[in-house]
Protein backbone atom coordinates (compact mmCIF):
# COMPACT_ATOMS: atom_id res chain seq x y z
CA UNK A 1 0.00 0.00 0.00
CA UNK A 2 2.75 2.43 0.99
CA UNK A 3 4.91 1.78 -2.05
CA UNK A 4 2.00 1.94 -4.49
CA UNK A 5 0.74 5.21 -3.02
CA UNK A 6 4.23 6.72 -3.14
CA UNK A 7 4.46 5.90 -6.85
CA UNK A 8 0.98 7.32 -7.52
CA UNK A 9 1.82 10.61 -5.84
CA UNK A 10 5.22 10.93 -7.51
CA UNK A 11 3.57 10.43 -10.89
CA UNK A 12 0.85 12.99 -10.05
CA UNK A 13 3.61 15.47 -9.13
CA UNK A 14 5.51 14.81 -12.36
CA UNK A 15 8.50 13.37 -10.51
CA UNK A 16 10.59 10.83 -12.44
CA UNK A 17 10.75 7.52 -10.59
CA UNK A 18 12.65 4.27 -10.99
CA UNK A 19 11.00 1.24 -9.45
CA UNK A 20 12.73 -1.87 -8.17
CA UNK A 21 10.83 -4.61 -6.37
CA UNK A 22 12.29 -7.59 -4.56
CA UNK A 23 10.84 -11.00 -5.27
CA UNK A 24 9.08 -10.97 -1.91
CA UNK A 25 7.73 -7.46 -2.50
CA UNK A 26 5.99 -8.85 -5.60
CA UNK A 27 4.55 -11.70 -3.55
CA UNK A 28 3.42 -9.31 -0.80
CA UNK A 29 1.76 -7.09 -3.44
CA UNK A 30 -0.37 -10.06 -4.50
CA UNK A 31 -1.06 -11.20 -0.92
CA UNK A 32 -1.80 -7.81 0.61
CA UNK A 33 -3.39 -5.77 -2.20
CA UNK A 34 -5.45 -6.12 -5.38
CA UNK A 35 -2.86 -4.20 -7.41
CA UNK A 36 -1.14 -5.87 -10.35
CA UNK A 37 2.48 -5.42 -11.42
CA UNK A 38 1.32 -3.90 -14.72
CA UNK A 39 -0.31 -1.05 -12.78
CA UNK A 40 2.88 -0.38 -10.79
CA UNK A 41 4.98 -0.41 -13.94
CA UNK A 42 2.58 2.15 -15.46
CA UNK A 43 3.20 4.46 -12.49
CA UNK A 44 7.00 4.60 -12.71
CA UNK A 45 9.24 6.17 -15.33
CA UNK A 46 11.50 3.13 -15.41
CA UNK A 47 11.30 -0.37 -13.94
CA UNK A 48 14.31 -2.56 -13.19
CA UNK A 49 14.42 -6.14 -12.04
CA UNK A 50 16.01 -6.63 -8.62
CA UNK A 51 18.55 -9.01 -10.18
CA UNK A 52 19.62 -6.45 -12.80
CA UNK A 53 22.79 -5.02 -11.32
CA UNK A 54 23.53 -3.39 -14.70
CA UNK A 55 20.57 -1.01 -14.29
CA UNK A 56 21.35 2.73 -14.38
CA UNK A 57 20.71 3.22 -10.68
CA UNK A 58 23.46 0.68 -9.96
CA UNK A 59 26.02 3.36 -10.79
CA UNK A 60 26.91 6.54 -8.95
CA UNK A 61 27.34 8.26 -12.32
CA UNK A 62 23.58 7.99 -12.86
CA UNK A 63 21.99 11.11 -11.37
CA UNK A 64 19.15 10.78 -8.83
CA UNK A 65 17.84 12.95 -6.00
CA UNK A 66 17.82 9.94 -3.70
CA UNK A 67 15.98 6.78 -2.86
CA UNK A 68 13.06 5.64 -0.72
CA UNK A 69 12.77 2.00 0.32
CA UNK A 70 9.08 1.80 1.12
CA UNK A 71 8.40 -0.57 2.80
CA UNK A 72 11.82 -1.86 3.90
CA UNK A 73 12.08 -5.41 5.28
CA UNK A 74 14.56 -6.20 8.02
CA UNK A 75 16.48 -8.29 5.51
CA UNK A 76 16.91 -5.43 3.05
CA UNK A 77 17.71 -3.05 5.92
CA UNK A 78 20.44 -5.46 7.04
CA UNK A 79 21.84 -5.71 3.49
CA UNK A 80 22.08 -1.91 3.27
CA UNK A 81 23.57 -1.57 6.77
CA UNK A 82 26.26 -4.13 5.96
CA UNK A 83 27.03 -3.14 2.38
CA UNK A 84 25.93 -6.52 1.05
CA UNK A 85 24.96 -5.31 -2.41
CA UNK A 86 23.76 -8.60 -3.88
CA UNK A 87 20.47 -7.19 -5.19
CA UNK A 88 19.67 -3.99 -7.10
CA UNK A 89 17.67 -2.57 -4.17
CA UNK A 90 20.68 -2.97 -1.86
CA UNK A 91 23.18 -1.81 -4.52
CA UNK A 92 21.15 1.30 -5.41
CA UNK A 93 20.79 2.14 -1.71
CA UNK A 94 24.56 1.71 -1.25
CA UNK A 95 25.16 3.99 -4.26
CA UNK A 96 22.76 6.57 -2.77
CA UNK A 97 24.82 6.49 0.43
CA UNK A 98 28.24 6.69 -1.20
CA UNK A 99 27.13 9.58 -3.39
CA UNK A 100 25.83 11.43 -0.30
CA UNK A 101 22.26 11.52 -1.59
CA UNK A 102 19.09 11.33 0.48
CA UNK A 103 18.19 7.75 1.53
CA UNK A 104 14.87 7.16 3.32
CA UNK A 105 13.95 3.77 4.75
CA UNK A 106 10.42 2.93 5.91
CA UNK A 107 11.05 -0.11 8.13
CA UNK A 108 8.31 -2.67 8.22
CA UNK A 109 8.55 -4.87 11.32
CA UNK A 110 7.33 -5.02 14.88
CA UNK A 111 8.57 -5.69 17.49
CA UNK A 112 12.19 -4.87 16.68
CA UNK A 113 15.17 -6.98 17.78
CA UNK A 114 18.47 -5.54 18.97
CA UNK A 115 19.89 -6.59 15.57
CA UNK A 116 17.24 -4.52 13.76
CA UNK A 117 17.84 -1.54 16.07
CA UNK A 118 21.63 -1.75 15.72
CA UNK A 119 21.31 -1.82 11.92
CA UNK A 120 19.01 1.20 12.03
CA UNK A 121 21.32 3.11 14.39
CA UNK A 122 24.31 2.40 12.15
CA UNK A 123 22.41 3.76 9.15
CA UNK A 124 20.97 6.76 11.02
CA UNK A 125 24.53 7.72 12.04
CA UNK A 126 25.43 7.76 8.34
CA UNK A 127 22.60 10.21 7.67
CA UNK A 128 20.01 7.72 6.50
CA UNK A 129 16.46 8.77 7.41
CA UNK A 130 14.70 5.98 9.30
CA UNK A 131 11.02 6.79 8.87
CA UNK A 132 8.74 4.20 10.51
CA UNK A 133 5.14 4.25 9.22
CA UNK A 134 3.78 5.61 12.50
CA UNK A 135 0.47 7.45 11.97
CA UNK A 136 -0.16 10.92 13.33
CA UNK A 137 -3.57 10.91 14.99
CA UNK A 138 -3.71 14.70 15.36
CA UNK A 139 -4.75 14.71 11.69
CA UNK A 140 -7.85 12.70 12.73
CA UNK A 141 -7.48 10.01 10.03
CA UNK A 142 -10.78 8.62 8.74
CA UNK A 143 -9.48 5.73 6.68
CA UNK A 144 -6.52 3.45 6.05
CA UNK A 145 -5.83 5.60 2.98
CA UNK A 146 -5.41 8.62 5.31
CA UNK A 147 -2.85 6.68 7.39
CA UNK A 148 -0.92 5.62 4.30
CA UNK A 149 -0.99 9.19 2.92
CA UNK A 150 0.48 10.52 6.16
CA UNK A 151 3.57 8.29 5.91
CA UNK A 152 3.96 8.88 2.16
CA UNK A 153 3.68 12.63 2.79
CA UNK A 154 6.41 12.43 5.44
CA UNK A 155 8.66 10.67 2.89
CA UNK A 156 8.02 13.37 0.28
CA UNK A 157 8.82 16.03 2.90
CA UNK A 158 12.36 14.61 3.01
CA UNK A 159 12.77 15.61 -0.63
CA UNK A 160 10.92 18.95 -0.35
CA UNK A 161 8.25 17.73 -2.76
CA UNK A 162 5.05 19.76 -2.36
CA UNK A 163 1.94 17.75 -1.46
CA UNK A 164 -1.36 17.90 0.39
CA UNK A 165 -1.38 14.34 1.67
CA UNK A 166 -1.93 15.44 5.26
CA UNK A 167 -2.85 18.61 7.09
CA UNK A 168 0.19 20.22 8.69
CA UNK A 169 0.04 21.15 12.35
CA UNK A 170 -0.70 24.81 12.84
CA UNK A 171 -2.18 25.36 9.37
C1 LIG B 1 2.83 -11.66 3.80
C2 LIG B 1 4.24 -11.44 4.29
C3 LIG B 1 4.50 -10.34 5.06
C4 LIG B 1 5.79 -10.08 5.52
N5 LIG B 1 6.02 -8.99 6.27
C6 LIG B 1 7.29 -8.68 6.64
C7 LIG B 1 7.54 -7.49 7.32
O8 LIG B 1 6.64 -6.71 7.62
N9 LIG B 1 8.83 -7.20 7.64
C10 LIG B 1 9.86 -8.03 7.32
O11 LIG B 1 11.00 -7.71 7.64
N12 LIG B 1 9.64 -9.19 6.69
C13 LIG B 1 8.37 -9.53 6.32
N14 LIG B 1 8.11 -10.68 5.65
C15 LIG B 1 9.23 -11.55 5.37
C16 LIG B 1 9.98 -11.03 4.18
O17 LIG B 1 9.22 -11.23 3.02
C18 LIG B 1 11.28 -11.76 4.10
O19 LIG B 1 12.03 -11.36 5.21
C20 LIG B 1 12.06 -11.47 2.83
O21 LIG B 1 13.32 -12.08 2.94
C22 LIG B 1 12.23 -9.99 2.60
O23 LIG B 1 13.13 -9.82 1.56
P24 LIG B 1 13.18 -8.54 0.67
O25 LIG B 1 13.58 -7.40 1.54
O26 LIG B 1 14.23 -8.91 -0.33
O27 LIG B 1 11.82 -8.35 0.10
C28 LIG B 1 6.83 -10.97 5.19
C29 LIG B 1 6.56 -12.07 4.40
C30 LIG B 1 5.28 -12.31 3.96
C31 LIG B 1 5.04 -13.53 3.13
Q: What is the pLDDT of residues 44-68, one digit of tens each?
A: 999 999 999 999 999 999 999 999 9
Residue 28 CB–ligand 1 contact under 6 Å: yes
Q: Which atom of ligand 1 is nearest to the CA of 75?
A: 25
Residue 54 CB–ligand 1 contact under 6 Å: no
168 Cα–ligand 1 center, Å: 32
Query: Mean pLDDT for the chain?
Result: 97
Residue with CA at minimum distance from ligand 1 atom 11: 73
What is the per-residue pLDDT across 31-41, written as a single tens digit (0 to 9) for each?
Answer: 999 999 999 99
73 Cα–ligand 1 center, Å: 6
For residue 136, what are the contacts with CB-CB under 8 A and spacing of at least 6?
150, 166
- pLDDT value of position 171: 81
Mean pLDDT of 100-125: 98
Residue 24 CB–ligand 1 contact under 6 Å: yes
Quote the CA–CA distance of 122 and 149 in Å, as a whole number: 28
Backbone angles phi, psi at 36, to 5 degrees: -110, 155
Quote the CA–CA distance of 101 and 80 in Å, as a whole number: 14
Mean pLDDT of 72-77: 98
CB 5 within 8 A of CB 39: no
Q: Which atom of ligand 1 is nearest to the CA of 50?
A: 26
- pLDDT value of position 166: 94
Phi-psi region of 143 (alpha: psi -120 to 50; beta: other; left: phi over 0): beta
Least Cα distance to 150 among 164, 129, 170, 171 occurs for 164
What is the per-residue pLDDT across 113-157, written as a single tens digit (0 to 9) for each?
Answer: 999 999 999 999 999 999 999 998 988 999 999 999 999 999 999
Quote the CA–CA distance of 142 and 150 in Å, as a whole number: 12
What is the per-residue pLDDT across 11-29, written as a single tens digit (0 to 9) for each?
Answer: 999 999 999 999 999 999 9
> Which of residues 167 and 107 earns the better pLDDT score?
107
Amino acid sequence: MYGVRALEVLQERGVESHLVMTEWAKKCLAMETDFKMEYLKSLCTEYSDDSNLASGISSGTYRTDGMIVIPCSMKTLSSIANGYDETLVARAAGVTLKESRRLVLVPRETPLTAINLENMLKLARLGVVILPPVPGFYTRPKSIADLVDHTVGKCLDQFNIEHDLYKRWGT
